[in-house]
Amino acid sequence: MAQYKETIYASDSWAENYVNGELSGITRAAGLTSQENFSFTYDNMPYFLYAISESWLRVRYPISSQYKKKRLVRAQQYVYVTGTASSSSGSLKSGRFVFSYDNSIGDLFETGVADAQVPALGSLVKNQYAPIGDWGNGDGRLSSGVYKGYLEMTPNAWAGCTGSLYTGNRYTAKASMSIQSHTGENRPYAVLTYEDVTPGAEDCAPKSGFVNEKANSVFRWRFWASKTAVAQPVQQQAYQFRWRLTGESTYQESTVTSGEESHTVPAGTFPENGSIDWCVRVQSDDGIWSAWSDWMTLTTQDSLSRPAGLRPDLGYVDGNLTQQFSWEHVISTGTAQSAYELQYKTAEGDWQQLKAEETGDTKAAIPKDTLPSGKLFWRVRTANSDGVWGEWSEAASIVVRARPPEPVISRIDPAPRVLVGWQAEDQQGYQIQINGEIFPEQYGTEKEWRCPVYLEDGNCLVGVRVQNAFGLWSQWATAQVVIQNRGSGKIRLTSRAVGREILLSWSASGAFSGFFIKRDGKTIAETGETSFFDRSCSSKHRYEVIGQAENGHYVSSGIQTELFFMRDAAIAGRENGEWIPLQVRRESVPLHRAESAAQVVYQHYYGFRLPHAEIAQARIQRHRFAFSLPDNRYLSDLQALVGQEVIYKDQWGVCITGILDEMAADIRKNSDIDFSITETRQEDANGE
């Protein structure tokens, strides 16, 4: 290791003298004197006593700028001695009086000289240079940093005694030493020895593991250099970086002038799926290179991933809205994914691909109407930076509430009672639409339907939609058809009021398998007879009889209008039975109260704060009545109707068909009754 020596002369010096430990004066002159004395009487003090008094000569030496980044390893001080003196009084039982000097580098190095190295004052030769102090001569005492830009050395004259004393005796000691100051002809000087500070690269990273060759790779270290006994700590001014393929002797090297404690290797430099070694050395701004660090080995083969944190999981999903699926790309190397693949399946089915992309995004938008309704499982796998697929994630479970796919109309018979056939998935019910008129829904998985009414000739738009187990409807599937009626024959219709009903009668010529009775355009009955009593009439009505010919063709009677009025309210069985008059209510007017209720299910979906309301088509229509019977002979007839389908009609044109589900009576001569009717769906030839 290179060493450097220089001789420097004092730039400042002064004497500090003390009396009883207190500063008595500071002297600045060509000649400086350090003098010490003490005086005390020993009286029953401990058997052994050590007493000392000291003063200071302080000398400063400048630090050369050319060595501020070098480490000071030795400092030898020389002063020109102009005089020494010592005296003492008092008797010792054992021990000695000592008149010596101590030498230290104060403030800066905070170190001293051992007793064995302290020469007596008498050994100093008058009027010549004396070596007072040799610090750092291989004993390692130069351990503090040089931080003031100068050295401050202190020849310290002191007088003392040590040993056992006589009680009652007085002991005194005086010592002095004189030197020439920095203003004298022979000023103090010091010989300083320096050596280079060798830097090093520590805490290198990464030491092992994976390096992504497809991205910029950053290699780091910490520049280190000793700051002990250095006036100005050294810094990094350059570095050299090396890398090689593991096992090879040749290497790539970069020399960079920079104080940055890192080096960046561009993406695509290292080989794929291999192994590389790297090392580094640094240069201080004093021009000294460190030794090379050890070779550190890294792999460029990425580890395999296994995603986690799948969302959504354990919740409901609206399949008719675009949904965002997300996951976490979990990989030990921390690299980003390069691709993903999503799969889903039903509880009993096989895995099917849902979506796949080459991207680093850990989320995927699943378009609406993609997922089938019902309970599903989904999973994801991701590819690492090398494009290698990792493991599949654990499956997440969701319940998809989505409308079923639109059915496909596969067959249409263009007869007036059109026949429609279709193909559909996830069907639990269906509904037909003819020229915008929607027929009541039907429940089941059958996929063929014949129109219950006869359609007029001409263009006809037929629609079909299906319903799944969640009660959700598909989009309408539509098709055009041209209706052509080929029925032959003739029907003649007459009508008249009979009591609280209307009697329809007709004659027919031709071959008919049966007849439909239509009231106000709606089919209300199907019969093989040539007469029919309409018990549900309530006002002015338009009647028509349709004769059913072969293969869905027909013959119409034409329209017959009949005007009908009720004189009071009445109730009877839907199909037959006597009418029970309901005219008055005791001490009040008759009561008719109508109640309606809808079935609503509130469903929470993943990603939404508020629930979605799913309103069923089903409705509850209930009517409550209060009357007084004109005669108790009707009471048993009314009680017999409880739980039966009934018809209620009144003079205001109200006609209700449903189940008489509740009845209460206050029994008396003319009983007061309360009852309720819940409207029910009336299946007829029209399916309405």
User: What gap in Å lies between CA 369 and CA 315, rounded to an integer?
Assistant: 18
**DSSP assignment, residue 406?**
P
DSSP H helices in 468-620? none
pLDDT for 459 equals: 94
Q: Which of 590, 599, 595 is nearest to 569 (CA)?
A: 590
pLDDT for 49 equals: 65
CB atoms within 10 A of CB 514: 12
Token representation of residue 357: 């992309």
pLDDT for 530 equals: 95
Segment 313-337 shows an average pLDDT of 92
pLDDT for 53 equals: 79
Query: Which is more confidently placed, 104 or 281?
Result: 281
CB atoms within 10 A of CB 419: 15
What percentage of the chain reaches a pLDDT higher than 90? 58
Q: Which of 62, 53, 54 is nearest to 13 (CA)?
A: 62
**Residues contacting residue 532 through CB under 8 Å, at least 6 positions apart:** 503, 504, 517, 525
User: What gap in Å lies between CA 530 and CA 522, rounded to an integer?
Assistant: 19
pLDDT in tens, 572-614: 999 889 999 998 998 899 999 999 998 888 878 777 888 888 7
Segment 657-686 shows an average pLDDT of 84
Q: Which of 650, 585, 597, 648 is nearest to 622 (CA)?
A: 597
Segment 50-72 shows an average pLDDT of 84
pLDDT for 51 equals: 73
pLDDT in tens, 109-160: 333 333 334 456 778 889 999 888 777 755 444 544 466 677 888 777 778 8
CB atoms within 10 A of CB 579: 20
Q: Compute the residue count for the chain.
A: 688
Token representation of residue 152: 């401050």
Q: With cut-offs at 50, 70 and 90, classify the pLDDT of residue 41.
A: confident
Q: Quick one: CATH architecture of 200-299?
A: Sandwich (2.60)
Please determine, for residue 98, whether its predicted confidence score (pLDDT) is greater than 90. no
pLDDT in tens, 374-403: 899 999 999 999 999 999 999 999 999 888
Q: How far apart are the first and last CA of the chain?
A: 109
Q: Which of 390, 472, 367, 463 is nearest to 427 (CA)?
A: 472
């009396």: which residue's tokens? 19
pLDDT for 85 equals: 87
Segment 645-668 shows an average pLDDT of 93
Q: Give residue 282's identity as a one-letter amino acid code.
A: V
Q: Which of 461, 404, 471 is nearest to 433 (CA)?
A: 461
pLDDT in tens, 223-242: 999 888 888 889 999 999 99
Could you tell me if 431 and 468 are in contact, meaning their C-beta atoms sit under 8 angstroms apart?
no
pLDDT in tens, 473-532: 999 999 999 998 988 889 999 999 999 999 999 999 988 999 999 999 888 999 999 999
CA atoms lying within 13 Å on the CB side of residue 160: 16
User: What gap in Å lies between CA 394 and CA 464, rounded to an integer?
Assistant: 40
For 291-305, what is the HEC assignment? CCCCCEEEECCCCCC
CB atoms within 10 A of CB 583: 15
Distance of CA 429 to the CA centre of its chain: 42
pLDDT for 132 equals: 82
CATH number of 408-483: 2.60.40.10
CB atoms within 10 A of CB 644: 13
Segment 556-560 shows an average pLDDT of 93
User: What gap in Å lies between CA 217 and CA 206, rounded to an integer?
Assistant: 10
CATH number of 490-562: 2.60.40.10
pLDDT for 685 equals: 38
pLDDT for 46 equals: 56
pLDDT for 155 equals: 78
Distance of CA 6 to the CA centre of its chain: 66
The answer to whether domain 308-401 has CATH 2.60.40.10 is yes
pLDDT in tens, 407-440: 999 999 999 989 999 999 889 999 999 999 999 9
Q: Which of 340, 342, 388, 383 is nearest to 366 (CA)?
A: 342
User: What gap in Å lies between CA 327 and CA 364, rounded to an integer?
Assistant: 9
pLDDT in tens, 159-213: 888 778 888 888 888 888 899 999 999 999 999 999 999 999 999 999 999 999 9
**DSSP assignment, residue 121?**
G
268: region left, alpha or beta (phi > 0 left; psi from -120 to 50 alpha): left
Please tell me whether residue 551 adopts helix, strand or coil conformation: helix
Could you tell me if 99 and 86 are in contact, meaning their C-beta atoms sit under 8 angstroms apart?
yes
Q: Rounded mean pLDDT of the chain?
A: 88
Please tell me whether residue 372 adopts helix, strand or coil conformation: coil
pLDDT for 188 equals: 94
Segment 71-89 shows an average pLDDT of 89
CB atoms within 10 A of CB 664: 10
Could you tell me if 426 and 405 are in contact, meaning their C-beta atoms sit under 8 angstroms apart?
yes
Question: Where do the CATH 2.60.40.10 domains begin and end in the chain?
Answer: 200-299, 308-401, 408-483, 490-562
Q: With cut-offs at 50, 70 and 90, classify the pLDDT of residue 44.
A: low
Please determine, for residue 91, whether its predicted confidence score (pLDDT) is greater than 50. yes
pLDDT for 361 equals: 96
User: What gap in Å lies between CA 152 and CA 139, rounded to an integer?
Assistant: 20
User: What gap in Å lies between CA 529 and CA 506, rounded to an integer?
Assistant: 9
Q: Which CATH number fits domain 569-679: 2.40.30, 1.10.3470, 2.60.40, 3.40.1350?
A: 2.40.30
